[in-house]
């Protein structure tokens, strides 16, 4: 008779070692975090130690500890006792940058929640999924907690979607439509607009429900942005040629120049070619938008048409139809080219939820899908870096002429 193996897996030496290692790491992380919080408090008190009141007593002193709280991290729950500070100055109080008030989970855990939900993990399965990620101590992240978090995200998204934009100006914008499935069988298109301000910093501009990337949906979005104060037109917009965005942009911000995304264009052209010629065709396409001058790019464009038009007219027609707006980036600073010739700021953000291809069934409604996308982009925004050559942004705003990425020298420039 075969021996019963129930329980043997959990008693395996490797599992025991893993448990010991995990506990050691958790204790080490707790010690480091506790020390960091203590040092932060010590530095704050040291900074104001010379301040004294009328009774000659210090105005900033320690005042015991706040109640112990558990912070959910990638290593599981870590318990921390945060020192309390009494600051007697009017209108002044200490706020920890390491451990702000009410924080109950690390940013990495906060980021994983909307991603798991968009990936199709249902609310009821969250506890099991998070236990696998964070360990058996992932308390406080039950199904009911997830429901409360989702409601909070919806309110946060609603508030963000009505914010005032009168002080905002975006030099470059990137537009795209992201599709998600919901359990009702509907397939909403989420319209995403990201921008770069005059300092080169990238920001979320709009995340809005749409209908198949239509011109009407995009117009509604742009009109809403203008109503809330975004009246200054961007210098350049980048997006897929299939978007209804371009018609809406022409109507609402007619001064904005158009740039078609080369990633989308490359994919669309190659889809119309057989596999055995795609490699060489892709090389020629790359040569177009990686050329140092517009003249060189147009020569590569003509070479592609000459080589492939006879046998593959559909591929060439796809390439030719956007020719006038595929090389616009050459009229902007060369240091900005890598940013403005594709919609990569949007593509890279949604790499975890495959753009246009992966079907997500975790969202129960269009509103839930919107709030999840909002949280996903919000987390990604924290890692966005400023554009290369951001110091040239003010010249773009001023309307300085660039030819092949170089500033055109005029008598006015010399003066």
Same domain, 212 and 360: yes
**What is the band of 367 on the pLDDT scale with cuts at 50, 70, 90?**
confident
Q: What is the pLDDT of residue 101?
A: 65
Domain assignment present for residue 358? The answer is: yes
Q: Which of 414, 410, 393 is nearest to 332 (CA)?
A: 393
Q: Is the model's pLDDT at 307 over the cut of 80? A: yes
Tally of structural domains, the chain: 3
Q: Which of 149-153, 256-260, 409-413 has the lowest mean pLDDT?
A: 409-413
Same domain, 73 and 222: no
Domain assignment present for residue 78? The answer is: yes
Domain assignment present for residue 215? The answer is: yes
Q: CA 164, CA 25: separation in Å to the nearest integer? A: 45
Same domain, 156 and 187: no
Same domain, 323 and 355: yes
Q: What is the pLDDT of residue 327?
A: 97
Same domain, 392 and 284: yes
**Final residue belonging to a domain, choices 53, 87, 121:** 87
Same domain, 80 and 112: no
Same domain, 143 and 270: no
Q: Model confidence over 174-225: pLDDT tens digits?
A: 999 887 655 545 556 789 999 999 999 999 999 988 776 789 999 999 999 9
The two three-digit tokens of residue 145, written as one number: 């907690």
Same domain, 384 and 287: yes
Domain assignment present for residue 1? The answer is: no
Same domain, 278 and 193: yes
**Cβ(405)–Cβ(330) below 8 Å:** yes
**Final residue belonging to a domain, choices 160, 186, 203:** 160
On the 0-12 / 13-18 / 19+ scale of CB atoms within 10 A, 6 is: exposed
Domain assignment present for residue 129? The answer is: yes
Q: Model confidence over 221-240: pLDDT tens digits?
A: 999 999 999 999 999 999 99
Domain assignment present for residue 212? The answer is: yes
**What is the band of 8 on the pLDDT scale with cuts at 50, 70, 90?**
very low
Beta bridge pairs of residue 86: 61
Domain assignment present for residue 60? The answer is: yes
Same domain, 152 and 189: no
On the 0-12 / 13-18 / 19+ scale of CB atoms within 10 A, 170 is: buried
Global pTM value: 0.69
What residues make up the domain containing 270? 172-365+375-403
Same domain, 284 and 340: yes
Same domain, 273 and 184: yes
**Final residue belonging to a domain, choices 160, 187, 222:** 160
């Amino acid at each position: 008779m075969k021996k019963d193996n129930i329980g043997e897996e959990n008693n395996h030496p490797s599992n025991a070692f893993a448990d010991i290692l995990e506990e050691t790491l958790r204790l080490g992380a707790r010690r480091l975090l506790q020390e960091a919080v203590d040092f932060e408090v010590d530095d704050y008190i040291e900074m104001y130690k010379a301040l004294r009141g009328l009774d000659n007593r210090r105005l900033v002193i320690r005042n015991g500890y706040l109640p112990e709280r558990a912070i959910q991290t990638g290593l599981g729950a870590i318990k921390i006792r945060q020192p309390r500070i009494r600051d007697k100055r009017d209108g002044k109080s200490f706020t920890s940058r390491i451990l702000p008030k009410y924080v109950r989970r690390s940013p990495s855990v906060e980021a994983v929640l909307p991603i798991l939900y968009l990936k199709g993990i249902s609310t009821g399965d969250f506890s099991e999924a998070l236990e696998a990620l964070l360990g058996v101590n992932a308390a406080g992240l039950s199904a009911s907690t997830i429901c409360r978090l989702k409601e909070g995200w919806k309110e946060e998204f609603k508030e963000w979607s009505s914010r005032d934009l009168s002080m905002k100006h975006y030099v470059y914008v990137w537009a795209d439509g992201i599709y998600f499935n919901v359990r009702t069988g509907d397939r909403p298109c989420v319209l995403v607009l990201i921008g770069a301000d005059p300092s080169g910093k990238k920001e979320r501009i709009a995340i809005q429900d749409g209908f198949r990337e239509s011109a009407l949906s995009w117009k509604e979005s742009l009109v809403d942005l203008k109503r809330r104060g975004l009246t200054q037109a961007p210098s350049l917009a980048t997006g897929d040629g299939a978007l209804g965005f371009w018609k809406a942009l022409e109507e609402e911000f007619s001064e904005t120049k158009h740039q078609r995304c080369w990633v989308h264009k490359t994919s669309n052209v190659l889809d119309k070619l057989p596999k055995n010629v795609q490699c060489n065709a892709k090389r020629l396409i790359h040569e177009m938008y990686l050329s140092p001058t517009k003249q060189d790019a147009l020569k590569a464009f003509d070479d592609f048409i000459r080589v492939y038009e006879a046998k593959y007219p559909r591929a060439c027609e796809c390439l030719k139809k956007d020719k006038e707006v595929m090389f616009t980036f050459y009229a902007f600073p060369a240091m900005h080219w890598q940013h403005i010739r594709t919609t990569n700021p949007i593509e890279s953000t949604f790499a975890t939820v495959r753009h246009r291809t992966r079907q997500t069934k975790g969202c129960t409604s269009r509103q839930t899908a919107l709030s999840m996308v909002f949280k996903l982009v919000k987390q990604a925004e924290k890692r966005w870096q400023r554009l290369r050559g951001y110091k040239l942004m003010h010249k773009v705003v001023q309307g300085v002429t660039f030819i092949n990425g170089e500033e055109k020298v005029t008598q006015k420039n010399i003066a």
